[in-house]
């Protein structure tokens, strides 16, 4: 079930009993979830989602608006939703995962659970200026303050010339986002954040509970916006039992 929207080699279909679809931050790559592939049971397939304009899809046109992205994305993912699944998203990936969950639910394929990280609830307004509107230097400074990109990478002008368009497009999706029309979720939502994340505070994280009629829990882990990149194991230790509980759950379609 190979698709350009999912990175890496896929497991044989007969071996898969559960899928975890993973969505990275603006400018992120599937490498964020490299250690996740071997972190769960043999019958769990971790599927890092790759958007146009990233990695092997660098030559493709990036999407600039959520409403443009979500239709083609869900259409491409639907064949992989033939087994129970959950979604995990970090930062921009959180709202993409949220919209995928709602669209898939509307199509009769609800997730067992949604895990979001490092992002305020979708209905809350941003506290900072829209980064995608800044000039290149100011834009890269804003990216650098999040501590997710090494300084030497940001200072490589040739690399940045190639990378800025897709990175800016990702930020535009995030900055212009408002929830798309749709019903609230019914699955459980688990929300995570770093204790010193400048992008989200705990009250903004707690507001995710308003997006579902299912159960809600949240966890604050030590670190900044990229706590999961610096120390993935504390997060994985929390994700594992949730996946185990999802694998035994039955979710009612919306």
pLDDT recorded at residue 248 = 63
Has residue 252 got a pLDDT over 60?
no
Active-site entry in 24, 62, 80, 91: 91
**How far is Cα 78 from Cα 253, in angstroms, rounded to an integer?**
15
pTM score: 0.93
**How far is Cα 172 from Cα 152, in angstroms, rounded to an integer?**
24
pLDDT in tens, 170-199: 999 999 999 999 999 999 999 999 999 999
**How far is Cα 223 from Cα 211, in angstroms, rounded to an integer?**
26
145-156 in b/e burial notation, b at 16+ Cβ within 10 A?
A: ebbbbeeeeeee
pLDDT recorded at residue 2 = 67
Do β-strands 44-48 and 85-90 pair in parallel, antiparallel, or remain unpaired? Answer: unpaired
**How far is Cα 193 from Cα 25, in angstroms, rounded to an integer?**
13
Torsion of CA 139, 142, 147, 148, to 10 degrees: -40
Asked if 30 is an active-site residue, the reply is no
Do β-strands 188-194 and 85-90 pair in parallel, antiparallel, or remain unpaired? Answer: unpaired
* Under 8 Å between Cβ of 117 and 197: no
Considering the segment(s) 13-247 as one domain, its CATH architecture is 3-Layer(aba) Sandwich (3.40)
Lowest mean pLDDT among 131-145, 179-193, 239-253: 239-253
* Under 8 Å between Cβ of 162 and 79: no
pLDDT in tens, 140-156: 888 877 766 766 777 77
């Amino acid at each position: 079930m190979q698709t350009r929207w999912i990175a890496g080699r896929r497991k044989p279909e007969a071996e898969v009993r559960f899928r975890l679809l993973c969505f990275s931050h603006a400018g992120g790559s599937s490498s964020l979830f490299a250690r996740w592939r071997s972190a769960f049971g043999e019958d769990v397939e971790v599927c890092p989602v790759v958007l146009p304009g990233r990695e092997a899809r660098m030559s493709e046109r990036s999407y600039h608006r959520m409403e443009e992205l979500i239709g083609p994305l869900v259409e491409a993912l639907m064949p992989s939703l033939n087994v129970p699944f959950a979604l995990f998203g970090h930062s921009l990936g959180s709202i993409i995962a949220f919209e995928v969950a709602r669209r898939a639910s509307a199509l009769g394929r609800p997730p067992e659970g949604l895990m979001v990280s490092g992002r305020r609830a979708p209905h809350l307004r941003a506290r900072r200026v829209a980064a995608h509107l800044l000039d290149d230097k100011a834009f890269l400074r804003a990216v650098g303050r999040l501590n997710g990109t090494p300084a030497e990478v940001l200072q490589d002008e040739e690399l940045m010339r190639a990378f800025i368009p897709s990175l800016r497009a990702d930020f535009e999706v995030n900055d212009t986002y408002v929830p798309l029309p749709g019903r609230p979720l019914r699955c459980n939502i688990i929300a995570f954040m770093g204790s010193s994340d400048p992008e989200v505070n705990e009250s903004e994280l707690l507001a995710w509970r308003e997006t579902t009629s299912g159960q809600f829990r949240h966890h604050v882990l030590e670190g900044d916006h990229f706590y999961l990149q610096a120390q993935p194991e504390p997060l994985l230790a929390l994700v594992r039992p949730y996946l185990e509980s999802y694998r035994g759950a039955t979710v009612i379609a919306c």
